[in-house]
Structure 1
């Protein structure tokens, strides 16, 4: 069963199409890796799911609920982390999470739970403006995870983290479906990162979906097209390069 489905989803601005006829299928209880170079349309797609920007064509379903009719119901089921999370710098990490907790009507224990999950418990009393970039990323993730929503939408969650932090967040994301019976949509421009945590992937370039399926299916398809397959990162780059070439030099 797919928990998120899009049908020819499109977002155009004046003279520019950021997302073009994208139909993706995200099975329930999986980690779905959303891949593509910067500017491919990943964030725009995620913002449409959250009602932050309106589609100009097509539609989507989240857990059987349709946008825009069920927008509020959809938001109740989704935890999100989009672009650089913003916080009140003069409040502690714990206080920032408590604001989210109150908005969502969750018990006080939800803050402790989110801090522990993201490894921030020992820094809970530190002001958010004194957090390092990596700690801010963790706080953003804690904010998305609070209340353990059934669907998580995470946009580049490992940006700015050191290798240890990247490994920890990756391991956490990988464990979430089994731990909390949730579905995770996570974006990155690095296939090497997605490779270690995703069950299925979708590859976007210039707003178009080039591929959707498992990593094994990506490899098989690449072999048939004569792309390099020893390293999936190279496969991914070859696919993007070929698409750009077919577009006549890309925008």
Structure 2
């Protein structure tokens, strides 16, 4: 069963088309890796799911609810982390999360629960401005996890982190579906990063979906087309380059 499905989803800004006739199928309970170069249309797609920008055409369904008729109901099912999370620097991590909790009308215990999930409990009384970048990213994830929503939409959650921080966030994301019976839709511009946590992959370039399937199916495609299947990043870059050439050398 697909918990997120799009049908010819398109978003244009004047003459520029950011997302073009996108048909995604995100299985319930999966970690779906949405990968593509910077500017491929990943963030635009996520913003449409969150009602932050309206589709120009096409449609999408989230947990059997269609947009825009069920926009508010859809948002109640989603925890999100889009771009760099913003916090009140003069408030503690705990206080920042409590603001979100009150907006969502969740019980007080949900803040402690979210902090525990991302290993920030020891630092919950520290001012947010004194958090390291990695701690800020984890605090952003804690905000998305408040109330344990059934769907998480995470836009480049490991951006700017050191290798240790990347490993921590990646491990957390990979375990979420099994621990909390949720679906994670996570983007990155690195297939090598997505490959380590996702069980389904969608590859986007210039708003067009070039591939959708499991990592194993991508390996089969790589082998069929003569690329080494032990290095999917090479396959990913070759797919992008081939698509750019078809578009007349657009980079």
TM-score by length of 2: 0.98
Equivalent pairs counted in the alignment come to 251
Deviation of the 1:230 alpha carbon:
2.8
Gaps in structure 2 of 5+ consecutive residues: none
What value does the CA root-mean-square deviation take over the aligned residues?
A: 0.9
Structure 2 CA distance for aligned equivalents of residues 230 and 176 of structure 1: 26
Task: Report the 3-state secondary structure (helix = DSSP H, G, I; strand = E; otherwise coil) of the residue aligned with 2:222.
Answer: helix
Gaps in structure 1 of 5+ consecutive residues: none
Decide whether the 8 Å contact of 1:227 with 1:239 is kept in 2.
Answer: no
Structure 2 CA distance for aligned equivalents of residues 187 and 42 of structure 1: 7
Match of 2:31 in 1: 31
What is the CA deviation profile of residues 193-249 of structure 1, one whole-angstrom value per residue up to 9, with x for unaligned ones? Answer: 111110100000000000000011111112222333231111111111111111111
Structure 1 CA distance for aligned equivalents of residues 71 and 12 of structure 2: 20
Decide whether the 8 Å contact of 2:192 with 2:232 is kept in 1.
Answer: yes
Task: Report the 3-state secondary structure (helix = DSSP H, G, I; strand = E; otherwise coil) of the residue aligned with 1:153.
Answer: strand
What is the CA deviation profile of residues 83-136 of structure 1, one whole-angstrom value per residue up to 9, with x for unaligned ones? Answer: 011111111110000011111111111111111111111111111122121111
Task: Report the 3-state secondary structure (helix = DSSP H, G, I; strand = E; otherwise coil) of the residue aligned with 1:6.
Answer: strand
**What aligned pairs does 1:29-178 form with structure 2 within 5 A after superposition?**
29-178=29-178
Task: Report the 3-state secondary structure (helix = DSSP H, G, I; strand = E; otherwise coil) of the residue aligned with 1:170.
Answer: helix
Structure 2 CA distance for aligned equivalents of residues 147 and 196 of structure 1: 26
Task: Report the 3-state secondary structure (helix = DSSP H, G, I; strand = E; otherwise coil) of the residue aligned with 2:73.
Answer: helix
Structure 2 CA distance for aligned equivalents of residues 230 and 142 of structure 1: 34
Larger deviation, residues 215-224 vs 169-178 = 215-224
Decide whether the 8 Å contact of 1:92 with 1:128 is kept in 2.
Answer: yes
Structure 2 CA distance for aligned equivalents of residues 27 and 199 of structure 1: 10
Match of 2:234 in 1: 234
Structure 1 CA distance for aligned equivalents of residues 219 and 176 of structure 2: 26
Structure 2 CA distance for aligned equivalents of residues 41 and 108 of structure 1: 37
Decide whether the 8 Å contact of 1:228 with 1:238 is kept in 2.
Answer: no
TM-score by length of 1: 0.98
Structure 2 CA distance for aligned equivalents of residues 86 and 168 of structure 1: 21
**What aligned pairs does 1:218-229 form with structure 2 within 5 A after superposition?**
218-229=218-229
Match of 1:210 in 2: 210
Structure 2 CA distance for aligned equivalents of residues 222 and 54 of structure 1: 35
